[in-house]
Chains A and B, each alone.
Chain A
C-alpha cells in the first residue's frame, strides 16, 4: 500500500505551486488540479483492491518515523479506502462540472478545492483526535474559501453564516479533545478508547463535547440553516462537494469516534439523526427552489446515515456487515445521487422549478431524452427505488428494525422517505415534462397552430458528470443486489429490456413492439417451469396482456420514444412478481413494477399531477407491504402457510394491496393515472397491472387468511371495502364526460367485486374472484383498445363531442358492445356467469345485504355502460367527424382475438372455470362442481353453453320474424328531424350526452362528493403546513443560526442526561 503521506505532500505541493503553474495558463493549472484529485482516487482504488481482493489487512501508517502514542497514525481500512474513493470521485465530478467557473475565477478557487478535498481525506485517514481537529479545520477553512470562490453575493452571505457555525463547532471540539486527553491520557483514538478514564462522569462530558462538535458539523436539525443557505447559493459543484464529499468525511469521523461513545451518546446521535431526517424532509416538501430543496434532502439523508450507524450499536441490528451495507449503501446512494442532481440542476439552469414556478431554461421546454433518463436514474435512486443502493439499504434496515420490533422507528423512517419521494419526484416531473407536458404534445402533433414548438433542453457536456454519477449508481446498485443474493436473471430482466430498448429508442415503433413481445414471450418460456396453476392464470393476464399492449402500441406511427422500454419493463416486472421466490426478490419486482408504471403514467400528455399521486400512493402502498413482509418471518417463501407468528402484519400487507388496487378511500390516484396516461398504457394499467395486486392478495390470503386476527370480522370488513369500491366506482363513473375517466372509475369498481369475492373466502368465492379477474382483463382490454382507436380518430376524450360512430367504426362498436354486455352481466356472455357466481356465493355465505348492494352497484354500472355505447356509437354523427375511419389494425387485431376468446369462454365456460377451480380446489373444500356443461351450486345451476344456445336461438327467431314482417322499409337519414331555431351560447350544454345523468345526480349525487380526495388533500395540506412551520426556523440570520447551534448542543446535553 502506498503511504498516504505522499498524497498529502502532493496535494500541498500542488496547491502551493498552483499560482506559479498558473503562469503557464489556466489549462495547465486545472490539469494539475484534476491530476491531483485523480491521484487520490487511483490510490484509493489500489487500497480497495488490496483490501478486498488481495487479502491484505487494514494497515496503520506512523508519521515522522514514530508510531502512536508518540506520533499521529493514519489508518487505511476498508471504510477509509471507500471514503477516500468517494471523496475523490465526488471531487473529480464536481471539479469537472466546475471547469468554467474555476477557469474564470482567481486561482484561489482551484487551490482551496485541492486543500478542501485533502482536508476531507485527512479526516478519513487520521486516528489522532487532535489531528482530526486540524484536518477538520483545513477542510472547513478551505470550504469557506471555496463557497465564495467566484465571489457571488449569495455565497458570500451564506459563507459568513457557515463560518459562524463552524467556528462554534471547532471551539466545542477543542474543549472536548483536550478533556478527552486529560481523562484518558491519550490523543490516539484507539488508545483513548481503551482507557478506562473516559467512561466516568467527567469523561462522558468530555466525549460529549467532541461528539456535539461533530454532530453540528453534520448539520443536524434545527442547527443546519447555515448549511442549507450554502447549498442553495454556492456553485452547484461546491454544493455537491459539501453534500457528498464533506458529509462522507464527517460521517466517517463520527464512525471513528463511536468506540468512545456510551449508550446515552449513541441514543443522542440516533435521535438527532432521525429528527433531522424527518424535519429535513418535511421542510424540503415546501421548497420551490431546486437547490435549497436538494439541500434539505442532503441534511436529511446524512441524518439518517448517522442514525443508522448509532442504532446498530444501540440495538445490535446486525453488526459490521449491516452497517457497511445499510449506512454505506445509503451514503453511497446519497452522495452519488446528490452530486448528480446538484450538477444536473446547474446544467439545466434550474432553480425555481421545484414547485412548478417557471424560471430558468426549464420554462422553455422539457429535458432531452438522454437528460431525462439521467435525471430519472438520479431521482429514483435518491427516493430508494430499485435497483439502486438505497433500495437494498432501505430493505435491510427495515428488516433489521422489524426484527427488533422498533415499529415507531420504521414508521418514522418510511413516513419521512415518502415525503422525500414526493418532493424529489415532483421536481423530476417538473424538469422532465417541461411546461404542461410539452414532451407528449409535440409527439401527438395536436398542438395548436401558432403555439411555439416546445424546446428540448439539451445538456451537452453538462450532462457528463450527472451521467457518470447515474452510471455509478446503476453499477453499485446491481452489485449490491447481487451481494444480497437477488441474482435471479428473471428479476433483472425488466431492467435489461428497458436498457436495450432505450438504447435503440430511435428505431421505428414496430421493431420495438416486436422486440417487446419477444421479450415477454421469452420471459414466459423461461419462467414456465416455475409457474404453478395460479401463476399460469395470472401470467396470461400480466405477460400476455403486456405483450398485447405492446402490439397495440403500433397503432400510432413513429418511434414513440420512451413508451416501449417502459411498457416492456413494466410487463416483465409483472412477470417477475410471479416468479419471485424470496420476500426481497418479490419486493424488488414489486417496486420495479411501481417505478416502470410510474414512468409510463408520466409519459402521458397532461399527467404531471396524476403521475405524482400515482407514485406517492404506489410507494405508500409498497411501504405498507414491505413492513408486512419483513414482520412475518418466512412470508413469501414458497409454500409458506399461516404460522402463529403472523397476526396483524397481514393487515399491513392487505392495506398495502388495497392502496395498490385503488380501494375506496385510497383510490384517489386511480382515475388520474388511468385517464391521463397514454391510451394503450391506460389499458395496460387497468386490465393487466391491477391484476398484480389481485395476485398478491390471493397469495397472501391463501397463506395467512386463516390466521388473520378476528378472521370472520376482518373478512367481512374486507368484503365491505370491496363492495364500497364497486359501488362508488360505478357511481363516480356515471357522471363523467371524459370517456377515459369513465373507464378508469369502472375499473376501480370491477376490482371492488374481485376484492369482495376474495373476502368470501371459500371455494365459490375464490372461483368467482379469479373468474371476475380474468373476465375483467378480457373486457376491459377490449374497451380500452376500442376507445384508444376512437380517441385517435376523433381527437377528443369528451363523450358529448362524439356520436354516431357506429357506421364509421363498426368493428370498434362491436367490440364495445360485446365488452359491455360481458361487463354488465347480461346473458349470454361470460359476465353473466361472473354475476351468477358472485350472487350465489354471497347468498351461500349468508351475506344477504352485501348481495343486495352488489346488485344495486351492478345496476348503476349498467348506466355508464349504456351511456358509453349510446353517446359514442349511436346518436347523431358529427359533421366534423365525417371522415373518421375504422381504428388501425394494431388495435383491431387484438380486439378481434379477445372477442373470439370472450365468445369461446362464454359458450364453453369450462375452458376458463376448470383451471380456476383446479387452482382454488387446492385451498378449499368444493362448493361448486360441474355436471356436464352446467355449473352447480347448492342454490342452483348455470349452464353457459345452454344459455348461449338459447340466446342465439331467440335472437335469430326475432331477427327472422322482423325480416319477414318488414314491409316497405324507409331509411332514416341523419337530418330527418326537426330543429329548434335557437343557437345556444355553449353548444355542448344542449347536447343530449352532456350531463347525461343529471336526474340521477340529483338523487344520488350526494354520494359522489369525492370525500376521499378531500381527505387526502387535507392530509397533504397538513404535511405541507408542518413543513412550512418547520422551515420558519431558518430565518436567514447568522446569529439566529448560532443560537440554534448553542441551543441544539444544550438540548442534546439535557436529553443525554435524561437517558
Chain B
C-alpha cells in the first residue's frame, strides 16, 4: 500500500524523462561510435524536454488555450502552465542544431580518413 502511494506521487512524465536522460548519458559515455554518441545526445535531450514539460503539467487542468474550456478570467485557475511548453519548443530547436552539428562533425571526421570510434581521435592529450 505504501509503495503504491509513493508510486502514485511520482510524476510519470518526469520519471520517464529522467530515465531517458540517464539512458542518453550512458550512451554518451559507453558507446564509442561517433554517430551513436550523437543519437545518445538526442535521447538525452528528449528526456530533458520531458522533464521540462512535467514541471508545467498540473493534474486536472486543461490545455493553455483560450476557448470554451477556459476564458481569460479563469485561465490561471484552470489551465496548465504554458511557460515550460514554450521553453521546450526553444530547447527542441537548439537540440536539433546541436545534433545536426555533431553529425556533420562526425561526417567530417570520417571523411577525413578517421575511424568511426571516438577512441581513434585521442591524439591531443596530457
Contact = CB atoms under 8 A, between A and B. Distances in A.
A1037 B45 CA distance: 22
Interface string A785-824: 0000000000000000000000000000000000000000
A691 B108 CA distance: 64
B105 A181 contact: no
Interface in B2-41: 21, 24-25, 28-30, 32, 34, 37, 41
B29 A156 contact: no
Interface stretch (A15-23, A86-94, A144-152, A836-844): A144-152
Interface in B92-111: 94, 97-98, 101-102, 105-106, 108-109
Given A148-B108, A187-B83, A1037 B48 contact: no
A141 B125 CA distance: 23
Given A181-B83, A1034-B125, A174 B112 contact: no
B60 interface: no
B79 interface: no
A164 B122 CA distance: 14
A1031 B126 contact: yes
B118 interface: yes
| Residue from A182, A286, A1031 whose CB has the most chain B CB atoms within 10 Å | A182
A1005 interface: no
A286 B90 CA distance: 44
A178 interface: yes
Interface residue range, chain A? 35 or more
Contacts of A175: 21, 48, 51
Interface residue range, chain B? 35 or more
Contacts of A137: 94, 97-98
A686 interface: no
A1038 B52 contact: no
Interface in B58-115: 83-84, 87, 90-91, 94, 97-98, 101-102, 105-106, 108-109, 112, 114
A171 B47 CA distance: 9
Given A178-B55, A1046-B25, A229 B108 contact: no
Contacts of B123: 154, 157, 1036
Nearest to B120: A157
Per DSSP, chain A at the interface is helix
Contact of B112 (A156, A187, A229, A232): A156
Contacts of A343: none
Contacts of A233: 124
A287 to B, nearest CB: 8
A163 B118 contact: no
A989 interface: no
A148 B126 CA distance: 21
B126 A1034 contact: yes
A177 B94 CA distance: 15
Contacts of B34: 160
B41 A167 contact: yes
A1037 B55 contact: no
A144 B41 CA distance: 16
A1039 B28 CA distance: 7
A1034 B123 CA distance: 11
A167 B105 contact: no
A134 interface: yes
B84 A168 contact: no
Given A130-B87, A164-B28, A1036-B125, 7 more contacts: A145-B101, A160-B102, A161-B121, A1038-B37, A1039-B28, A1039-B118, A1043-B29
Interface of B: 21, 24-25, 28-30, 32, 34, 37, 41, 44-45, 48, 51-52, 55, 83-84, 87, 90-91, 94, 97-98, 101-102, 105-106, 108-109, 112, 114, 118-119, 121-126
**9 closest residue pairs by CB, A with B:** A1036-B125, A1036-B122, A229-B124, A157-B121, A1031-B126, A137-B94, A178-B52, A182-B55, A1038-B118
12 contacts: A141-B101, A160-B34, A163-B98, A167-B28, A171-B48, A178-B87, A181-B83, A228-B124, A229-B125, A1036-B121, A1042-B28, A1042-B29
